[in-house]
Structure 1
Amino acid sequence: MCALLALVACTGNGNGNGANTTPGPTSTSSATPQGTEARITIKGFNFMPADLKVRPGEKITVSNFDSAPHTVTAKEGSAFDTGNIEGGQSATFTAPSKPGSYPFFCSLHPRMTATLTVG
């Protein structure tokens, strides 16, 4: 009987609490994890993050925390353009379907720049 008790006490996942938990899947991708929303924050006349990695066709929400309006506009071509996002407002756009690096800027404040990487 003692051997049976010892065997029962040793089962589990080795974390010391006897709970049988299985770790979830891990992601090696630098893109936004599945189930989370891709976001660009505008604050202090800066885009954060400065380099956002997303999946092709992913929805991206842009939140403007400045009082001035801003845009998220692809530098080349017409890959994306949010139009004016007033201070305190948000907008959503869809990442291009073609993988690549897409530099963007604020068309109202051209010194504001960042990059969207689609992979």
Structure 2
Amino acid sequence: MVPGPEETSSTVAPPSPSAAPPSPSPFTGTVTIRDFSFEPADFTLGPGTAVTVTNTGTTAHTLTAQDGTFDTGPIAPGGSATLTAPTQPGGYSYLCTFHHFMRGILTVA
């Protein structure tokens, strides 16, 4: 015998809530300038967080926000400077003012 519509039941599970995408982990290392590149070029810091920028290259460099929000000033070969992230969340494009092709993005989150 085939059950009729009144004899069947189906259970539909409610949709499970989707988890929010994980926020990027704040960077806790040192930004290293190697010759003509930043490592890492793109990184995330918490608002007002400080990070060390070390120049292991053979010429002076800067890590300067394109909008002027932050600037390490010239960092001599073998030298380092402290960069403090802005307090306003968002993405900040930066470059070396001596070598404009050296670029990256600091995300404040």
Class of the TM-score when normalised by the shorter of the 2 chains: 0.7 to 0.9
Q: Residue type matched to 2:26 in 1?
A: T
Q: CA RMSD in A?
A: 1.3
Q: Which residue of 8, 11, 24 maps to 1:30? A: 24
State the distance in 2 between where 1:80 and 1:31 align: 21
TM-score calculated relative to the size of structure 1: 0.69
Q: Residue type matched to 2:83 in 1?
A: F
Aligned residue pairs total 88
SS of equivalent residue, structure 2 residue 30: strand
Q: Which residue of 27, 31, 34 maps to 1:43? A: 34
> Does structure 1 retain, via aligned residues, the 8 Å contact 2:35–2:59?
no
Q: For structure 2, list consecutive stretches of 5 or more residues without a partner in the other structure.
A: 1-21
Tell me the percent identity.
Answer: 43
The structure with higher relative contact order (CA 8 Å, sep 6+) is 2
State the distance in 1 between where 2:65 and 2:101 align: 14
Q: Residue type matched to 2:108 in 1?
A: V
Aligned to 2:63: 72
Greater radius of gyration (CA)? 2
TM-score calculated relative to the size of structure 2: 0.75
Q: For structure 1, list consecutive stretches of 5 or more residues without a partner in the other structure.
A: 1-27
